[in-house]
Structure 1
Amino acid sequence: MVASTDTKFYVHTNNNAPQLQNAYGCMIDVLDACLVNGFGSQTVATLTASGTTVTATYGSAHNYLQYQVIKLANANQAEFNGEHRILTVPDANTITFELAAVPSVTTATGTITSSLPSLGWLKPFSDTGKAAYRSANTLLASRPYLRVVDALDPAYNAAYAKYAKVGIVEDMTDIDAMLGVQSPFDTSNPNKNWVASGSGTSVINGWAKWYYARSNDWQVDANADTLSIVAGIRNWMLVGNQDCFYIFVNPTTNRNYKFPYGFGTFKNYLSSDMYPNFLAATLDYSSANAVTNKATLTCLASTVSQTLLLQRNSVNDATPQITANLISLFNKQTVCYSGSVDYFASYSLAGGRIFAPVIVLENGNLPRGQLSLINWLMQAKYDGIDNIFSDGGRGYFLISVTCAQGNNGAVILDLGGLI
């Protein structure tokens, strides 16, 4: 068997990757590239096979990472074309991958190109600074929209922190025509998440936010959104499949600990659950000059504030503003920050990483399901900022994240089977 290609990931250092910076619209650029369009086409100089192992050589640095999925096109021999997971990166100009069978020739011909294919999501509606994304998987029980507003609100100062306003929308007929349940939502103020109110430094702009440019990358700090923002590109990484994705963003330029955000379907435990959809965002409805908690889904503890938005509750009614906690069934104490502390034996003592699923806990005691792709690291991370590794025939990506109270940690992303 060859490596699976269902789960894909992208990083800001890939060739021709769109960049997050101190400018509105760049979050939509990243989402368009990764979810819908793909990016980074480049010419393959040579493509040679030894048995089922294929080596692709480039005339310059390809800037791919191990276990990324590429799409080959335009080879005259069809068995080389299609999606492949990179298994090794021998050097800056070379990658290898496996075919399911020995090809008909040892050296492929044609004007061969490779690119990073998208996750295959849909973008049914858009306007300037606005976009709506949706899974293309029609087998899902429900397929809500991720609505994104990544434009300067007239009441907000362009010099303040930058973020996209995001929300779950059950149905849409246009980018501004939203139907059914929304999350977050306030029945007394339907535009609370989308339209700013107030003025000056006390302006309140949005509720569920994906930050990508601010003065500090701590989720809890002494910095308001009114503080000055430096120019420059930000580190980001996006991982996902046809059902869900996570985007990890460092909103500053001087560090590499990222805010983890995400959207999509989780693995539901309840057979009657027809709406197992989530949104991970910074939930913050406060004035721009306020010093508030920017916590995202890394604040993994059953007694800490609700950190995950759900489309609907477990009985599928239309109650607005459903939130859930994130826990691990292996928690040894009340508060647990993923990858921050050795809750079990350290890596050196245990002889490996100890990680566990992330459970969606509704109403404080109902384990409604499990987040896909992402795992809770039960040890202090030991191996630098970010790290790609394999274990038990699967590929993993350890991503450094910033946790609540300034604790830095990490989560582990499952990239799928390698054999």
Structure 2
Amino acid sequence: MLDTSVKFFESAQAGAPTSTGQVGSLIGLLDACLVNGFGQVTVATLSVASDVATLTVSTGHGFTMVGNVGPVILIAGAEPAALNGEWRVASVTNTTTLTFATSEIADCTATGTITVKRAPAGWEKRYSGTNKAVYARTALDASPALIRVQDNGVSPSTAYTALIALYETMSDVDTGTNSTASSLRYIHHSNAANSTPMAWRLIANDKMAYLFIDQNVWKTAAAFGDLNSYKAGDLYSCVLNASNSAGATSPPIFYSLLSSSLMLRSYTGAAGVITVGGSSHSKSNAFSNAPQPYPSPVDNNFHAWPVEMWETAANVARGMLPGLWNPIHSQSSIPQGTIITDIPQLMGRTLFCQSVSGTNQFVCAIDITGPWT
């Protein structure tokens, strides 16, 4: 069966939450994508034949493919119960029918009051308050760090700027230990205090999330979750990358922000927040800022490098950002939304090219197939 760990969410999807310039907007978006899922509809028929499940709805399921990658859906209420849970869609036949591969489920027609929705990334909302939330990752090998979001318009924030911080432990939505809160980071979910929806994308698994919001031509970008750490059993591998500027109209671009990412502790385990910075191919000191076009004239392929995070003070490499790639091509040859599948070094993977700057000048690439190993 296809891997279901990586989830791709965007504002254009059926039932998606909105990102606006109103307080609480970001928390609503994160709740829907990370914790609850969205776009639930009632299933008309669900049948299995020769390890292929066919699902139909009466009025439109709202699911679409991204290139050759199907959405991850969550089925509930079906009998046999083995059909309940997460599945990656293999094909979308039309607006009312889709299929997915099964294993060890006998041919059958399911019964029950069956629902299907876009599956969440598998996070937990540990604590909540009025326009405040604390999120935990549920992966068994995730670090214990918690991510706190304050989206209530309190100074120095505004109605369209949320504060985000890591905590080592928390006892409620406002109380915790060893935090990055002294070095404020911001997520600008709009560029004006109004109800105008912004385009957005969030790509995540149960340990890491990448968020992009088009508040000023895709200037808002953030990453929060665990590195693929070089240290075995790293309890402090969680990294926070978000704007270090309170101004929503001209926040730094994503790649520049990588130089001032935060972690709760050094690889030594000594208490105290540290700064970490990203490093990748020297011919591309920002995403897709290299001279060569795509495809490469040398081998007619796509070239990309991973992004490695280095501890600033210790000057040592801590680990890699999972699923994130730096295209070694000119942005003009891989514009926003380009889908790449012909990657010899990443066989079977699909990368989605996402703009991360105010002029669409810089583009990162994210693996939407999974798993992020």
Q: Give your verdict on TM over 0.5.
A: yes
Partner of 1:97: 100
Determine the C-alpha separation between the residues in 2 that align with 1:389 and 1:97: 23
Question: Does the aligned pair in 2 maintain the 1:258–1:400 contact within 8 Å?
Answer: no
Deviations 1:58-90 (A, max 9, x none): 323322232221012222333432211012223
Partner of 2:50: 51
Letter in 1 for 2:147: L
Normalising by structure 1, report the TM-score. 0.77
Partner of 1:347: 295
Q: Which residue, 288, 306, 312 being the options, matches 2:259?
A: 306
Deviations 1:262-301 (A, max 9, x none): 211111113474311100100126xx59x8x62253238x
Determine the C-alpha separation between the residues in 2 that align with 1:8 and 1:250: 19
Distance 1:110 1:126, change over 3 A: closer
Partner of 1:357: 306
Mapping of residues 1-400 of structure 1, within 5 Å: 2-66=1-65, 67-101=70-104, 103-105=106-108, 107-140=109-142, 142-153=143-154, 158=159, 162-179=160-177, 181-185=178-182, 207-214=184-191, 231-252=195-216, 255=217, 257=218, 259-271=220-232, 273-284=234-245, 294-299=251-256, 306-320=259-273, 322-328=274-280, 331-333=281-283, 336-343=285-292, 346-347=294-295, 349=297, 350-363=299-312, 365-381=315-331, 382=333, 384-388=335-339, 390=341, 394-400=348-354
Please say which of residues 68-77 and 43-52 is displaced more in the overlay. Answer: 43-52
| Identity, % of aligned positions | 26
Normalising by structure 2, report the TM-score. 0.86
Letter in 2 for 1:78: A
Distance 1:123 1:243, change over 3 A: same
Distance 1:169 1:411, change over 3 A: same
Determine the C-alpha separation between the residues in 2 that align with 1:357 and 1:155: 34
Distance 1:145 1:157, change over 3 A: closer
Count of residues in Structure 1 that have an aligned counterpart in Structure 2: 361
The structural deviation recorded for 1:415 is 2.6
The structural deviation recorded for 1:99 is 0.7
Deviations 1:15-57 (A, max 9, x none): 2221101211010011111222222210223334442222323
* Unaligned 5+ runs, structure 1: 186-192, 194-206, 215-227
Aligned residue for 1:262, secondary structure, equals strand
Distance 1:12 1:90, change over 3 A: same
The structural deviation recorded for 1:413 is 2.5
Distance 1:74 1:388, change over 3 A: farther
The structural deviation recorded for 1:340 is 4.0
* Unaligned 5+ runs, structure 2: none
Question: Does the aligned pair in 1 maintain the 2:253–2:356 contact within 8 Å?
Answer: no
Q: Which residue, 364, 368, 373 being the options, matches 1:410?
A: 364
Determine the C-alpha separation between the residues in 1 that align with 2:221 and 2:181: 18
The structural deviation recorded for 1:156 is 6.2
Partner of 1:401: 355
Determine the C-alpha separation between the residues in 1 that align with 2:362 and 2:120: 30
Determine the C-alpha separation between the residues in 1 that align with 2:158 and 2:51: 57
The structural deviation recorded for 1:138 is 4.5
Deviations 1:367-402 (A, max 9, x none): 110111222222235455324554555343414222
Distance 1:89 1:352, change over 3 A: farther
Question: Which one has the largest radius of gyration?
Answer: 1
Please say which of residues 15-24 and 230-239 is displaced more in the overlay. Answer: 230-239
Deviations 1:124-178 (A, max 9, x none): 21110111111123544x41111110011167665xxx11100111111111112
Deviations 1:288-343 (A, max 9, x none): 59x8x62253238xxxx7231112122221233x2111112xx133x522134445
Determine the C-alpha separation between the residues in 2 that align with 1:168 and 1:122: 15
Question: Does the aligned pair in 2 maintain the 1:374–1:414 contact within 8 Å?
Answer: no
Distance 1:154 1:357, change over 3 A: closer
Distance 1:338 1:91, change over 3 A: farther
Question: Does the aligned pair in 2 maintain the 1:386–1:397 contact within 8 Å?
Answer: no
Letter in 2 for 1:93: T
Question: Does the aligned pair in 2 maintain the 1:394–1:416 contact within 8 Å?
Answer: no
Determine the C-alpha separation between the residues in 1 that align with 2:354 and 2:230: 29
